[in-house]
Amino acid sequence: MAASLKPHGLLFYKTFNVHHLRSSPSFNPAYLLESGELRQVFGDLEPIDLEDGEDPDQGVSWIVARRP
């Protein structure tokens, strides 16, 4: 996904993380991000805004990032 961005292009990505299981225990954990996974996957991009699962009360993770 990040490789398809033009230089200075923006990525907006939001999805559920493992903390979502607290409110929806039957949700398939295979579809949930681990804490820190967005930073790891999109590490080549410059983060503008990031919630990467560190807050256990936040069941979603998101990133807004720019390709250099």
What pLDDT sits at residue 8?
Answer: 98
Domain residue spans of the chain:
2-66
What is the reported pTM? 0.88
- CA separation, residue 4 to residues 7, 10, 12, 31, 48 (Å): 10, 10, 13, 23, 18
User: For 48-58, how does the pLDDT look when each residue is reduced to its tens digit (9 = 90+)?
Assistant: 999 999 999 99
Q: Cα separations (Å) of 18 from 6, 10, 39, 41?
A: 31, 25, 15, 16
Report pLDDT digits (tens) over 4-48. 999 999 999 999 999 999 999 999 999 999 999 999 999 999 999
